[in-house]
Amino acid sequence: GIAFGCAMAQLLSPYGVLTVDPLDPRVHQLSRQVFQHAATHATEVRAALLDRNEHLTARGYHAQVRVTDSSTLLFAYEAGRRSILHSAGADFISSADGKHSRDVLCGIAENAPESLSPTALLRPVMQDALFPTVAYVGGPAEIAYLAQSVPLYERILGRMPVVVPRASITVLETPIQRLMGKYHLTVEDVFAGRHQLREKMAARFFSEDL
């Protein structure tokens, strides 16, 4: 992590860009309120995320992260490894067989936040709590995460950055262009899937009956 940070700092030094190690315990200390909210309001947050997933899938989108009736937004570092925390009534159970009451977990979030880590849905909220973000430029996967995280932003931060899709570029090399021209194909034909593409290529050279 240090080597990567130094390399990025050197490459980006003309632009005044700062790098931060998300595993630094001091970052977790500054994020204790985010962890506390995730622990204290686990039931309400989970219900809001389940509703959000239904909202997205009903409109033809997919849920990037699976949320269940026992999901939480936290990992715990136990015995040197990171274990996902699951909700069981008023308690939290880790995949390493650890068990914490809600009060105990809130105490950990307050006094030892370096022992906790955010899941994929909470991580961008933690990031934007530390570094208020005006706009976020992301790819399809990142945007899908943020689409699910909307209830978390609303509850924890009361705001959300503007989400901007990054540029998407497909490079067609000359041999590929010639092949596509031979079969009268477009880029959209290729995106339609292998079966449809095969049908269109066959239709170019074979009779309809065949």
pLDDT tens per residue, range 155-202: 999 999 999 999 988 899 999 999 889 888 888 888 888 888 888 888
What the block records as the tokens of 88 is: 């069981």
Q: Do 88 and 70 form a contact (C-beta atoms < 8 A)?
A: yes
One-letter amino acid at 187 equals V
pLDDT mean over 64-86: 88
pLDDT mean over 72-100: 84
Phi, psi angles (nearest 5°) of residue 42: -60, -40
Angle between helices 140-152 and 42-58 (to 10 degrees): 130
Residues 6+ apart with CB under 8 A from 206: none
Q: What is the pTM of this model?
A: 0.77
**What is the pLDDT at residue 148?**
94
**Residue 35 above 80 pLDDT?**
yes
Of 4, 106, 124, the C-alpha closest to 65 is: 124
CA dihedral 56, 61, 66, 67 (to 10 degrees): 0
On the 0-12 / 13-18 / 19+ scale of CB atoms within 10 A, 123 is middle
CA dihedral 30, 36, 41, 43 (to 10 degrees): 100
**What is the pLDDT at residue 117?**
92
3-class DSSP state of 69: coil
**Residue 96 above 80 pLDDT?**
no
Mean pLDDT of all residues in the chain? 89
* Residue with more model confidence, 130 or 89: 130
**What is the pLDDT at residue 97?**
63
pLDDT grade for 59, boundaries at 50, 70 and 90: very high
